[in-house]
Amino acid sequence: MVNLIALLAGLIFGLGLIIGGMTNPAKVLAFLDLTGDWDPSLAFVMLGAIAIGYFAFREAKQRTWSVLGLSIDLPKTTGIDRPLVIGAVLFGIGWGLAGFCPGPAVASVLVGSSAVWIFAASMLAGMGLYTLAERQGWL
């Protein structure tokens, strides 16, 4: 039952990314281009996501168990540290260069364009490098 609900939530999330235009790299890059032909429409998608996330996390902080009976384990750290800053910078560089971030890239893999596959492969390689760096104590 838990896996079915997770699948349904993922499908709804992916559909929202598609409808919101987050899977269109040209639209994302137009949003990031503040000095050119700026497209502010994705700001509304992001504000909607932030609003939902705010209330969801506020509720989750009050609980120890989810509606499905699973434990809720939120991160204990709240500070800004070196790995967070490095990750944010790399995320921003990747987003600005490719026009994809992880969620929309996964939702776009079904389209099959070479750009999506290259981004997804690069993302997986980056995750692997991070895991290696963390295990080696480089971070």
What would the pLDDT profile of 92-121 be if each residue is shown by its tens digit? 898 888 888 888 888 888 777 888 899 889
CA-atom Rg of the chain in angstroms: 17
> Tell me, what's the pLDDT at 90?
87
| Domains of the chain by residue range | 2-136
pLDDT at 139: 73
DSSP structure class, residue 68:
T
- Residue 71's SS3 state is strand
Q: Give the tens place of pLDDT for each residue, 1-15.
A: 899 999 999 999 889
Residue type for position 128: G
Q: pLDDT digit string (tens) for 53-84? A: 999 999 999 999 998 889 999 988 889 998 88
pLDDT at 110: 78
pTM: 0.74
CA atoms within 13 A on the CB side of 131: 6
The pLDDT value recorded for residue 62 is: 93
Mean pLDDT of 20-44: 89
| Cβ contact 116:109 at 8 Å | yes
Mean pLDDT of 25-37: 89
Specify the DSSP class assigned to residue 40: T
Q: What rounded mean pLDDT belongs to the chain?
A: 89
The DSSP-derived string for 54-75 is HHHHHHHHT-SB-TTS-B----
Angle at 107 between CA 11 and CA 25, to 5 degrees: 140
pLDDT of 102: 87
